[in-house]
Structure formats: C-alpha cells, structure tokens
Amino acid sequence: METPDEWAERNAGYFDPPEAEVVGMVLASWRVSANLALGRDDVELAAAFQRHYTKLGTGLPPNFALAVTADEVIACKFDPSSVSHPRAAHDSQFKKEVARWPRESIRFGETETGPLAYGMTLHVDGRKPIPCRAPKLPKNPASAYAVVMLGGELPA
C-alpha cells in the first residue's frame, strides 16, 4: 500500500502549489490532529467535509471530519473556523464523535468541480447516499487524499 508521502509525491502536480513536501505536511497535520483529538495513534488519514444543508436525516452534522484507521471510519463534528483550514487542522477543531462505520462500508463517488467547493457523494453501505462538499480539492490535499483512499477519483 502506498504511504501518504508516496501519494503526495505521485500527485503533487494536482495541487496548488505543486510541491510534494507541502502536500505531505498537510496530510501529516490532519493525521496528527485527528490522533490527538481522538486519543488514538492509528489514524491513517483525516479530512473535513460539509454535508449539504438540504440533506437532513443523514446522522452527520453540517460540518464533519472523517478519521480513517485500518479498520474503521470515524465521523466527528468539526469546527471549520480556522485561518489555516483546509491546509492544516488543530485537534481542538475535532468535536464529538457522531458515527462509526467499518472502513470497507464507506466509499466516495461522483466527485464534481465547483467554483468554490467540489461536490462528492459519500456512500455508506445500507444508507442513502450523502451529498457533501469540500473546499477546492487542488487547494485541499487532506480531503483529496480521503476521497481517493476511500474509492473516489479526483476530477481533472
């Protein structure tokens, strides 16, 4: 399996700026912050998303973060109000856990570009698809990495 640094190196050209070291630091910042917030040491990746406000009953708050381990995906309430968001995260932005699923039951699909945010659909086995979005993926390595690692594709 490809490490986050290897992924950053291979995909650096997608991002602004196109520097693997910067992409790797962003991925590490999110991973460390999620580990600290959750009191764990096995989070492989973390990223924030926003559920569409019109989609109620999903069990997810409007702003949420996903923390992914080898076995599970943990969704937490997330406070996006930070001057460094989405380039960096702080453990204080991760709030209470709102859901937990087996990793193999989660996947992203249908990623679309937009003027300020990219849309994507979060699929959870046995539930209705959850439309959500994230700040532009070329400026948001953490969310881009989460989308790809959970089965989605980066739009051109």
pTM for the full model?
0.94
- Asked, for residue 155, whether it belongs to a domain, the answer is no
Task: Please state, in angstroms and rounded to a whole number, the distance separating the CA atoms of residues 109 and 152.
Answer: 5
Q: Residue type for 144, please? A: A
What total number of domains does the chain contain?
Answer: 1
Query: What are the tens digits of pLDDT across the range 66-103?
Result: 999 999 999 999 999 877 778 889 999 999 999 999 99
74 CB contacts (<8 Å, ≥6 apart)? 38, 66, 67, 68, 97, 99, 100
CATH value at residue 50? 2.30.29
Residues spanned by the domain of 15: 4-149
Query: What are the tens digits of pLDDT across the range 112-132?
Result: 999 989 999 999 999 989 999
